Chain A
């Protein structure tokens, strides 16, 4: 049960990973986060989250794709696993479920 719990930032990262199929890597995720939410995440923060997600089995990583500006270093390419997809769906369903239980008056009026 504990393993399946997804943090807010983790979920964000996982969604972005899912969006890019198997082409996402650290810096790309940073950029996407900034683009989508306006938040600035440091490279360290993203990598730390990636390590955590991998430990939970929600993603898989591979090395590949060196470019010049990286000084010839490979990227750590990330791909979402089935467990990851499940976890995203579950998180969404849970929220939709909760949303539906909110009385209309509470939110639409404000």
Chain B
């Protein structure tokens, strides 16, 4: 029955509309609604119409309803306001705490919901799976989120349950020339025609059918199309690259949604992709190292696990020649040796949040961070409301007379509970209003830190405002309930007597809440300190090569055969101290991998997992690698094409002994070449310190593609400008693309950096809210124990004794919190550190540092507040009776 107008709206209508008009108005509204189809939009319209009834002529006047609820509500509201006004300080503490808590909560919900929304928008998402490969042989043990070029077709042809299989792979940048201006497109992928179909891309111009089946065809997204063609239909138009290749636009599709695990501005056909053409790459590369993102669309109802088990049949059918070329075994023997190479399926909706593949290179979220942030958000909100509960109950004694009086006059307990609930909701709403202001104020910062792209914090696709409203009402009711029960439960006689002697002893809820607050604070503080020290450690760690003052020019190949001249002219600049022309630079995301072994020792044990870099003789001095023994490459002769320089780790794991020079090593690349070791360098880290140290082989390259420049300058922008000038002299077809050595390294830790800035922030917030609570409690306790303090002082107690006496009761739960918090924080952060191959150890100094800072803040608050009362003249404290 979607044809029914929203009930809530009708109920609201019957409450607000004048009874004598209700029938006619409601009839009109229903008739209006009956014309529409009952969609969400028409329901919203209906709501709009109902809310439009709010006009003085149409609504019931409040005076008309003589029911007691209305009156009581009015007076309760009045009392609540008066009470808030009278207790300005506590109201301020509460509202401040709650608004900060809610602000954090809103930002966290925004982040979590947005991460959660990734890949939820695809049609048929339940039937789409990404293929990944699970490898375990030699010393390689890895999972890669891709499959080799021929696999997609094999999957599609061999199994009826696979409806479509499709692949895409990153393409090099395309630089288009339009009227002598160059436009660089970096977000380009090679995609199969079936990618368009598997992901149900929608065409705006042209046809999806056969869009990528023609050589040199391009599919543009709407935004890209607008960039080049405005509002015109670009189908069949031609885009020409700077190097002269012409592409024909076959189709314009809707932009791929922002919250998708992959994104592209331009899709080009795989027909032109060298990797997918077996005649252009070596047999072994084609079958083992062409990294395609591969997706399968399964017949609805297919169990992916059952399908994966059937894959064995294709390995036996197709893999024999591959393993023969690789290790001289057939597939069965290869497998019998305990080797593993198996394709697996990952559901599409897990791709973004649950992936931890090597070399993934895609946008990624991390489900663990989502849980962590949600937990932190809940904790912070909890802390804010814990303050509220504590302050309200602790202040109960001050409201004894009011409560007693009301009870004597005849107020029931339920009415009192309602009154206190209303007060709590009122404070929450006030906090919410401030929180919303804060959210809008800090929204740009939020976007910057999280890298998100949202238009409005509250009214976006995630409907945050709805959640926040629900959370506020739910939590304020929950938090208001306990004080309401306590306050309303006081016997009226006791209340009227104003008996304030009862101070809670032992393990009360108040102590528990304080304990829990500081427990959270301690964990967060330990977290921040550990994250800070670990990142600092990574920053200082010697990588074995220098990344300071290094500029990497990535597309130097664009200079073609003028690369040498470009290099010479750059080297002539006074700022440039060294320059190296090479193919691979430490700090790249991907490297050629493989296994190496001593020539003629091609056995299971003899193989070592390694990375291979093709460089020139200048690379070692430019990047400050340490040559331990042997010599560098020699540029003057061609003899070094079969020479190799290896790292110390490589020497050790190959078992080359103390005389590595002159020994020969080979690689499992199917080429059967052997290289002579001419030098050994100190180990260096080519990727981040999250990965272990690799054995590395340096080859000499005759065809460098990039430049690494070591420079010394005080005016970096000017230096870059000068390089740009030189570049323009030699290269007209490409925009220079460069990176700094330090940036290249830092990008490995971007997610950790992000986590650090977020945790730093939350620890401040948590400490802030906890301190607010402490301030409130400490000032209350000193007021309540004023007379006691006065008497003690008259009898001769010293100031510090008094401070100690008052602080003791307040700080006890904090000490407990620290005792519980340390082990929990320790365990938690040790888990986090396990993600690093190189890590610090958590030691006692660190714990002492973090814990003492917590104690320091808490006791500073308590002591400064109690100090005043302890110092006060006892006469003032005792006089007014």
Residues of A within 8 A of B (CB): 25-27, 30, 42-45, 47-48, 51-52, 63, 66-67, 69-71, 73-76
Contacts and interface: CB of A to CB of B under 8 A. Distances in A.
Interface in B1-46: 21, 23-32, 34-35
A27 B53 contact: no
Nearest to B50: A44
Contact of B24 (A26, A42, A52, A67): A26
A37 B443 CA distance: 43
Given A51-B21, A75-B27, 4 more contacts: A25-B24, A27-B31, A42-B52, A45-B52
A69 B5 CA distance: 11
B48 interface: yes
Contacts of B57: 47-48, 51-52
A71 B21 contact: no
A48 B58 contact: yes
Nearest to B32: A27
29 contacts: A25-B24, A26-B25, A26-B28, A27-B28, A30-B28, A30-B32, A43-B28, A43-B49, A43-B52, A44-B25, A44-B52, A45-B52, A47-B21, A47-B25, A47-B57, A52-B57, A63-B24, A66-B27, A69-B34, A70-B27, A70-B34, A71-B26, A73-B30, A74-B23, A74-B24, A75-B28, A76-B21, A76-B23, A76-B24
Given A74-B23, A74-B24, A76-B24, A43 B29 contact: yes
B27 A47 contact: no
Nearest to A66: B27
A85 to B, nearest CB: 23
Contacts of B34: 69-70
A73 B27 contact: yes
A83 to B, nearest CB: 19
A75 B57 CA distance: 18
B55 interface: yes
Interface residues of B, number: 22
Contacts of B30: 69-71, 73
Given A42-B48, A44-B58, A74 B27 contact: yes
A71 B57 CA distance: 24
Main secondary structure of the interface of A (DSSP, over half): helix
Nearest to A69: B34
A23 B24 CA distance: 14
A66 B25 CA distance: 13
Contacts of B28: 25-27, 30, 43, 47, 70, 75
B54 interface: yes
Contacts of B21: 47, 51, 76
A104 B632 CA distance: 100
A30 to B, nearest CB: 8
B49 A47 contact: no
Contacts of B52: 42-45
Contacts of A52: 57
B55 A69 contact: no
A43 B55 contact: no
Contacts of B56: 48
Contacts of A43: 25, 28-29, 32, 49, 52-53
Contacts of B32: 27, 30, 43
B307 to A, nearest CB: 52
A28 to B, nearest CB: 9
B58 A73 contact: no
B57 to A, nearest CB: 4
A27 B52 CA distance: 14
Given A42-B49, A42-B52, A47 B31 contact: no
Contacts of A51: 21, 57-58
A27 B25 CA distance: 9
A27 B26 CA distance: 11
Interface in B691-746: none
Contacts of B26: 71, 73
B25 to A, nearest CB: 6
A67 B31 CA distance: 9
A48 B52 CA distance: 10
Contacts of B53: 43-44, 47
Contacts of B31: 27, 67, 69-70
A65 to B, nearest CB: 9
A66 B26 CA distance: 12
A52 B55 CA distance: 11
Contacts of A47: 21, 24-25, 28, 53, 57-58
A30 B52 CA distance: 13
B49 A44 contact: yes
Contacts of A45: 52, 55
Nearest to A28: B28
A76 B34 CA distance: 18
B55 A44 contact: yes
B48 A73 contact: no
A74 B25 CA distance: 10
